[in-house]
Structure 1
């Protein structure tokens, strides 16, 4: 019998060695392991999954936990010391993982009853003689079926390629330029149908539009868009017939894997669009559920003239200019005149009015947005567009929590909707704070909007992602993307501001941060966001004289412009004014802050109230509020960085429970951070 090393065992041994070499580095995860192994992340994930039946992040955690057990048995180190030495930033999270894996907490190791390492249910490889028994025995087939499938199919099953696809702008083959809207409509319909399939990752229309007149090759486009398949099409409308040439291309080989020429009557255009989506999904073996098939088969309207008006409206609508939107509304309204139950047209009327009103101080079209959204839902409640229309109405009237369920349901109907993903990212960033969801949707958004049309848009996409990363404590990743943002647009208005704080998170150098922000303030002295940040940094250093100079300018500008901004900062401003002997004015800020706390519905309410109680001398009540906050999840990293140095909390520092509750807040954050990192790695959102 051969005693040559098993290839899978050798692979596992190799990655275990690498993990152990980087054991104390909490940031050493799947991406770092893949880089060290000189493998792509996807190949590493696939191979670990095949060999161990674990995700890569689970396997890394397993190696850390096994080493922790060995250290508990063989050394005199404390649980806390071992936790950090095996790469867990949070002791509580380490204890939780240890208990889940071994069935008992680490503190019980060595007490006489639980000293032996417990073999987990899932092991990363079987011993060689066990493999041989499995290979020759059918008696235990049921028990080892999962192992049997993985080991036996390896030689015959091809490596599964990610089902990522981009639909390039279709070409108008007619000499009549007025025919272009119809060809564009065919392209948009093909895109929309594919977006309804959750098993696909479909790049947004805005990302592919830049390739309408490109000379780039298929492999170049695919690399830029990070997709494995591209759809090309050309067509025209001739009288009552549609002529369409379409092909699905495997980007890795630049060869078509499905080609079709259509010559059908216009009355059959919906059947044509639906068949294209089904044929493409079938060609790349995408799973299409019965509900997704039902959504694809559903005709938007039976009235072809109404549909023609709708297609004509899309081009001006996509300009997002005032003139374009007004032209689009006129055409969408003609569509609903022809078909009074045309839900899709009603939804786009609502969108158009929403965009017209978006930056207007005095809103004019609130009722029109609502009425058209309601009609869209009335005639098709299972349409992503109908749900988005109602969501934008709620966003328009600032009822953000009411928008959430509509957007989340819309994402079920259209899992590849970059519009929905970006709206959710914005809501969780700004209006319903949840740092984990903010980052998750920001990462999904960048996958769908991977190649925005211009460098400025790209810069802001990377800025948003960087901001989401730093809020969750992913400092190195945030630093990478903020640099990308500035590379695309050095004049990005907000990127230097975010970069200054990312650098603070890395180096904890408050003087460096102040200098960086002052440079931005010198470029534009009217920037109230920077003005209050500079004031706040001086406040943290208890340099109240200088803080007052900047806060005073900020307050004057806020009053002059009648702006209701940064109400959560009023307690800091009040404290500075109090230190300057301006008690009456300070009292106004404290009253304003108390009103803010009363109306605050965010996860930060308890910590805000704690600050108020601390200032009022209600020490025990303040500590109780901090205890409440210590149970919350997904709060911003900035709290950890600045809370302990905030002068408003100084009266609490002598309380016997203060340090303990602050440690719990810290541990809770890093526990959330570790869990989020594992989830994002498993979903393939962090590379």
Structure 2
């Protein structure tokens, strides 16, 4: 044990030495410290959490404040001058942090004895009063806030009760200057430890996001899809706020036991990690929709969002009055997180049951439609026409019941996009982005429309605060770099993504596709064959890319073996794969056969024709008049690809 402590102590000592060397550098933060010590940001975060329960940003901030205290006690300079000496860019922010950490402002240091800090006393006396923190790194700050608020509000009382028969609410707050009311709701944490309650936690998250998104005076509310990416990630509040470009983060723990529920809510300033409002709630599960409305309303008021009478009425509307229907809906959502054709199919019975129990359950209709439409787009298990026909009645009903639903808006944008109505999709996503920010599908549409700079800008904005690789779904970024002629960036991004997401089937396919474009056939073969080995099915796109690879490697027998398999499957009626046969003939320069298969794909309205102006294989056809005609028939905007002239890429 002592040996382990010695290692930890040496690690902390190394960190403090690095911080000492860079004390006056205000921009020396989490990323710089991690790089200096030779670990990733996430590794550093986990290591510090294990040693002392602190986040990296908290560790850095408290080190600077301790140094400031030493300087103030030695009277080396004024408080404002010392603020800059310890790396704070604002004396005002320094004063706020100092007061929070030590319990009194820096101007009082000279009137106190050296060991007269309030921290230990505050923490000890508050150990049994605060129930609102969910991590050790925030307890320290909350205890201080609790004591300050107690003395300020003692005469008015600290506890607030509503519906005292069934509900018990306990509130604390520490007001700050609010200039931006964008917000993200972190996935509610399961405080019960029971896996069965995960569905209820996710349901609460979805409900709060849905209600906040109805308030138009809130600048931005990050979507549930984006927020679920943070369910398992260990990141600081500041990192999350910066990545999502929001000012506020709502965090909560949720517990359900029988008909009883409990929540610990915290509204946090994403810039300072200051918890300026917190609330503990206890009540009955039967009143869950009332609770959701109250939470959304209280959060909106705390971030200075004005709620109109119409919005108030929308917020108060419950998804359903049938609790059994709601439970089925939540179970369906939880199963869908598997993000596979199998999990989507399995979720249907729960959404259908929810609709049977409540025929006006808009969200259940929308999710049920989603399970069908994805079969014809992402999963390719049926033709898009069939998938659309199955999904259409559910989407129609959802739209009738709740035309302002943000999830439905994004779904409709996807449908318009896959139906080649690019202008309508672009318009819908513009509205969607104003509320939830940049997202994967926005980048995807921008790539298909040739807006490479927008894709790269979106990626760079994310990477300012997040050094983690892209997910397997983010194909847009490496392709955007490819078409801008930045080949090194293309390969680095794809290879890094593959290292960190070794089970991402699309990443193998797309990296192989780009290797073919660069004539790196051996590398393409290795990558695609690995992808096939781990894949749940023999994807036609992978088989065709392998056929291309083996052709250029001189193994014509192997090439035709893969090509014949795909052609046979297409002739036997398998949907969505005619377009991939066209890839083969386009790459080999047989334009007539390529357009024969593209015509088949067009008549079947195959989804992957959206790649017509973006996939390097199909771009071999760009000088053929039939190519421009097909682009026009599909409805692409006039954004011609002048690759050779603009980007120096010669398409051969």
Do residues 559 (structure 1) and 577 (structure 2) align? no
Deviation at 1:346, TM superposition (A): 1.1
CA distance in 2, matches of 1:571, 1:442: 31
Q: TM-score, normalised by structure 1?
A: 0.49
Conserved 8 A contact 1:163-1:201: no
Query: What displacement does 1:173 show?
Result: 4.8
Q: Counterpart of 2:641?
A: 635
Paired residue for 2:288?
269
**Paired residues of 1:573 and 1:589 also in contact (CA < 8 A):** no
- 396, 402, 405: which is aligned to 1:380? 402
8 Å CA contact retained: 1:306, 1:339: yes
Equivalent residue number for residue 14 of structure 1: none
3-state SS of 2:279 partner: strand
Pick which of 179-188 and 351-360 moved more.
351-360
Question: Shift in Å at residue 436 of structure 1?
Answer: 1.0
**Any residues of structure 2 matched to 1:448-527 within 5 Å, and which?**
458-461=470-473, 463-473=475-485, 478=490, 481-489=493-501, 513-514=520-521, 516-517=523-524, 520=527, 527=543
Say which SS state the counterpart of residue 623 (structure 2) adopts: helix
Alpha-carbon separation, structure 1, partners of 2:395 and 2:229: 27
1:532 corresponds, among 524, 533, 548, to: 548
For the residue of structure 2 that corresponds to 1:611, the secondary structure is coil
Distance of aligned partners of 1:560 and 1:387 in 2 relative to their CA distance in 1, 3 Å threshold: same
Distance 1:553 1:389, change over 3 A: same
Deviations 1:59-111 (A, max 9, x none): xxxxxxxxxxxxxxxxxxxxxxxxxxxxxxxxxxxxxxxxxxxxxxxxxxxxx
User: Which of 339, 363, 366 is residue 347 of structure 1 equivalent to?
Assistant: 366
1:224-243 matches, within 5 Å, as 229-237=248-256, 242-243=261-262
Whole-angstrom distance in 2 between the partners of 1:441 and 1:370: 34
Aligned-residue CA RMSD in angstroms? 5.6
CA contact (8 A) 2:582 2:595 kept: no
1:259 Cα deviation after fit:
0.9
User: CA 1:561–1:293 in 2, change beyond 3 Å: closer, same or farther?
Assistant: same
What displacement does 1:370 show? 2.0
Superposed displacement of residue 307, structure 1: 3.1
Task: For residues 609-631 of structure 1, give each alpha carbon's deviation from its aligned partner in whole angstroms, at most 9, with x where no partner exists.
Answer: 8734699xxxxxx9xx99xx9x9
Shift of 1:633: 2.0
Alpha-carbon spacing, 1:277–1:447, altered in 2? closer, same or farther (3 Å): farther
2:355 counterpart (331, 336, 344): 336
Query: Are the structure 2 counterparts of residues 367 and 571 from structure 1 closer, same or farther at C-alpha, using a change threshold of 3 Å?
Result: closer
Query: Which residue is 1:191 aligned to?
Result: 209
Q: Which runs of 5+ in 2 are unaligned?
A: 1-88, 90-175, 533-541, 571-576
1:379 deviates by: 1.9
Deviation for aligned residue 1:466: 1.8
Contact kept in structure 2, 1:424 and 1:438, CA below 8 Å: no
Name 2:114's counterpart in structure 1: none
Q: Which residue of 1 is the match for residue 63 of structure 2?
A: none
Q: Contact 1:343–1:386 (CA<8 Å) still a contact in 2?
A: no
Are positions 1:359 and 2:375 aligned together?
A: no
**Which runs of structure 2 are paired with 1:583-598 in the superposition (5 Å)?**
none
**Aligned residue number for residue 186 of structure 2:** 168
User: Conserved in 2, the CA contact under 8 Å of 1:195 and 1:414?
Assistant: no
CA pair 176-560 structure 1, distance change in 2 beyond 3 A: closer
Give the 5 Å matches for 1:63-212: 165-173=183-191, 178=196, 181-195=199-213, 199-200=219-220, 202=222, 204-211=226-233
Q: How does 1:273-352 map to 2 (within 5 A)?
A: 273-285=292-304, 296-320=315-339, 324-325=343-344, 328-352=347-371
Q: Distance in 2 between matches of 1:485 and 1:574?
A: 32
Distance (Å, rounded) in 2 between the aligned partners of 1:422 and 1:344:
22
Q: Give distance in 2, aligned partners of 1:601 and 1:183.
A: 37
Q: Deviations over 1:147-193 (max 9, x none)?
A: xxxxxxxxxxx998876654333344558775554344222212333
Q: How much has 1:514 moved relative to structure 2? A: 4.9
Q: CA deviation at 1:394?
A: 6.8
Match of 1:257 in 2: 276
Provide the secondary structure at the position in 1 that maps to 2:420. Answer: helix
For 2:458, the equivalent position in structure 1 comes to: 443
Shift of the alpha carbon at 1:257?
A: 0.9
Structure-2-length-normalised TM-score: 0.52
- Per-residue deviation, residues 506-539 of structure 1 (Å, max 9, x unmatched): xxxx67x456446547868974225436868x9x
Aligned length: 444
Cα pair distance change 1:171/1:209, threshold 3 Å = closer
Unaligned runs of 5+ in 1: 1-42, 44-157, 539-545, 576-585, 616-621, 647-687
Compute the displacement of 1:311 (Å).
Answer: 3.0
**Aligned partners of 1:292 and 1:604: how far apart in 2?**
42
Distance apart, 1:218 and its partner CA: 5.2
Distance 2:613 2:240 in 1: 44
- Distance in 2 between the 1:251 and 1:309 partners? 34
Within 2, Cα distance between the matches of 1:180 and 1:296?
Answer: 24
Per-residue Cα deviation, 1:409-430 (whole angstroms, up to 9, x for no partner)? 3763675558x9434544565x
CA distance in 1, matches of 2:651, 2:192: 68
In structure 1, what is the Cα distance between the partners aligned to 2:246 and 2:555? 51
CA 1:182 to 1:572, structure 2 compared with 1: closer, same or farther past 3 Å? closer
